[in-house]
Structure 1
Amino acid sequence: MAPVSSLPRRRGVALVPEFMGLRISRRPSRVSSASVRATAKVARPGVVCEAQETAIDIPDVTKSTWQSLVLESETAVLVEFWAPWCGPCRLMHPVIGKLSKAYEGKLKCFKLNTDENQDVATNYGIRSIPTMIIFKNGERKDTIIGAVPDGTLSDKYREVLVDQIWRILPFLSCLGE
């Protein structure tokens, strides 16, 4: 019976640095490769992980907190409908975190686990995740389906704000007369 792998059994040992985010290293790193003799070293630029401490945890909203956190909110609210097993949903968390930080005090962001809160998801017709809904004064203003860049979410939020301004402009012009 032939061996499953034809790679040499002896491998080089390397120390693994603590990774904190991604950056390209200007100095070459020493790398062992299975395609090169086990004792040979190859020098090449590498990518080093250097995560920044900017991850923002998006608070959860549930069926029991939906009314108070979303529908009765004084500010606009963005809710991400998601599930833990959904890869694109997990990709959206940092995007929504960035949006939450950029519009702090003007926009509240929450995430709703559709596996645990199926009633709420059904009430809003959620058929695909991730789905983000923007609410203002308890009303659904816009829906974004799928993983999108942060610019798309920012644009949708600004559209909701502009729509609100245009609705109150006639009232404000009457006060000036």
Structure 2
Amino acid sequence: MSENDKTLTIGLLRHAHAGWSLPGQRDFDRTLNAEGRAEAQRLAARLADHAFRPSHVYCSPAARCVETFELVRSALPANAEIIFHPPLYSSSSDTYLDLLDTHAGPGSAASAILLIGHNPMIGETAEALFSRDDTSARQALETGFPTAGLLLAACPLSATGIRGTATLSAFLTPSNS
């Protein structure tokens, strides 16, 4: 395979269903509720059947994302580099896309990367990955990006960035997990 044929597999995971904030609790500290823990466990079981092996996992440090990560961790490579990345909590989808772009350049050693974050940023990032003509990706995303949803996409390595270059590989959701 030539350098030009290499791809980066991208996983975008929205945290599982979280409970409402308790009085005086910060949004950042919201944890998963029973439904969310069940969603994440179903997703982990399904993810174990896929060949997705990220070398890097970037996770928002918000409690619900960390808890989601912990519940799917067993389905991820033990040697994956785990980075709790504060900008994934409150920054725009441009931050998510810029982070992906750092791993999509021709010299990148990563072949797969996982971002665990929040909506609307995860959904906006997913939409930006695909060309407007990609009807399968558009159909997969037409009802939104559900909690505990995991989108897998392949992007060619490119010095010009990943926006509009992805091919949908899979979209695992709680309803199909």
> Same fold per TM (> 0.5)?
no
Structure-1-length-normalised TM-score: 0.29
- RCO (CA 8 Å, sep 6+): is it higher in 1 or 2? 2
Say which structure is richer in helix: 2
Structure-2-length-normalised TM-score: 0.29
